[in-house]
């Protein structure tokens, strides 16, 4: 038999709360992802210079909703780590509403990507390959987010599975923040896309190592979730651009 993560049973039935240092892993990851979002969008959303011009309304809404998701994910993880199961459950409906908002506003942002770039003076024809990569990569991210989220909600009574799936869902939508961090002067001369992929792989590797260290095995949700994550995010971004499917989508969005 595999050694399970040490748990303490909360007052609420069928909910197990991790104890000791291992209880800090998921809150720490949630806070790290929130910090990455703040750092990545510090100058382009949170404290956008006036000289950069106003953001479109849909981008304001999208930024607020996605930020709300990462804030809520951090809060929910900290609540569970501190045994506040009832309050965690009470925020569940809010979490579902915010998650739906993430999906809807992400799709609106993708549809408006080309028009928004045009308004800001970007030569979209010259950047068509980049736009194609962004759109397909983001579509893959939305699919991964939805799958992890839906399964996480179905398995919400199984704490070990639920927290891993919520972490994977959050990782699925953190790439835009990571690629902006990769654009900071400290990373000058290094390809931003490679840095972003490297960052995602590192975060996924940390989850796998956590499983091995605490369970002496890879948890079932991690075992299928990590390869699914990589396939759904990377295959559309790098294999679909330039195909007939890509050409059809670009005609719709152009």
* CA angle, residues 242, 245, 250, in degrees to nearest 5: 75
Where are the domains positioned within the chain?
18-181+188-245
**Which of the two residues, 112 and 124, has the higher pLDDT score?**
112
Residue 251 CB neighbours (<10 A)? 8
Would you say 61 and 25 are in contact if contact means Cβ atoms under 8 Å apart?
A: no
**Which of the two residues, 148 and 191, has the higher pLDDT score?**
148
Mean pLDDT of 145-159: 95
- The residues near 91 (Cβ < 8 Å, ≥ 6 apart) are 72, 75, 76, 79
List pLDDT tens digits, range 156-193.
999 999 999 999 999 999 999 999 999 888 888 788 88
The helices-and-strands tally (H runs, E runs) of the chain is 11, 2
Mean pLDDT of 43-50: 82
The pLDDT of residue 51: 54
CA torsion 162-167-168-174 (nearest 10°) is: 150
Mean pLDDT of 229-243: 92
Would you say 33 and 175 are in contact if contact means Cβ atoms under 8 Å apart?
A: no
How many residues are present in the chain?
Answer: 254
Tell me the whole-structure pTM to 2 decimals. 0.88
The whole-chain average pLDDT of the chain stands at 88
Would you say 104 and 98 are in contact if contact means Cβ atoms under 8 Å apart?
A: no
Whether the per-residue pLDDT at 38 is higher than 50: the answer is: yes
Give the pLDDT band of residue 12 (cuts 50, 70, 90): very low
Distance CA 97, CA 33 (A): 20
Sign of CA dihedral 39, 40, 44, 46: negative
Q: Which residues pair with 8 in a beta bridge?
A: 17
Kind plus residue range of the DSSP H or E element containing 193: helix 192-215
Q: Which of 85-99, 122-136, 164-178, 179-193 has the highest mean pLDDT?
A: 164-178
Whether the per-residue pLDDT at 34 is higher than 50: the answer is: yes
Whether the per-residue pLDDT at 68 is higher than 60: the answer is: yes
Give the pLDDT band of residue 223 (cuts 50, 70, 90): very high
Least confident of 9-13, 110-114, 244-248: 9-13
Mean pLDDT of 53-80: 93
How is residue 196 written in tokens?
């972003």
The single residue listed with the structure tokens 């799958």 is 147
Kind plus residue range of the DSSP H or E element containing 18: strand 16-18
Of all residues in the chain, what percent are helix, strand and coil, respectively (each to 5)?
A: 75, 0, 20
């Amino acid at each position: 038999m595999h050694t399970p993560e040490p748990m303490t049973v909360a007052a609420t039935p069928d909910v197990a709360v991790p104890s000791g240092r291992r209880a800090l892993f998921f809150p720490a990851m949630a806070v790290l992802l929130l910090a990455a979002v703040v750092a990545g969008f510090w100058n382009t959303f949170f404290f956008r210079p006036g000289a950069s011009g106003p953001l479109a309304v849909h981008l304001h809404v999208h930024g607020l909703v996605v930020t709300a998701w990462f804030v809520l994910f951090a809060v929910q993880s900290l609540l569970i780590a501190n045994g506040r199961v009832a309050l965690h459950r009470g925020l569940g409906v809010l979490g579902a509403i915010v998650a739906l908002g993430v999906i809807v506003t992400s799709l609106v942002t993708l549809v408006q990507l080309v028009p928004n770039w045009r308004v800001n003076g970007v030569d979209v024809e010259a950047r068509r390959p980049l736009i194609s990569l962004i759109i397909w990569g983001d579509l893959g991210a939305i699919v991964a987010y939805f799958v992890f989220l839906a399964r996480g909600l179905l398995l919400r009574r199984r704490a070990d599975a639920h927290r891993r799936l919520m972490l994977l869902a959050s990782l699925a939508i953190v790439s835009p923040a990571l690629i902006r961090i990769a654009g900071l002067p400290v990373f000058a001369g290094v390809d931003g896309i490679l840095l972003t992929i490297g960052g995602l792989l590192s975060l996924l590797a940390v989850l796998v190592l956590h499983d091995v260290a605490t369970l002496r095995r890879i948890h079932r949700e991690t075992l299928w979730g990590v390869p699914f994550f990589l396939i759904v995010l990377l295959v559309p971004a790098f294999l679909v651009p330039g195909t007939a499917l890509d050409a059809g989508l670009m005609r719709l969005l152009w």
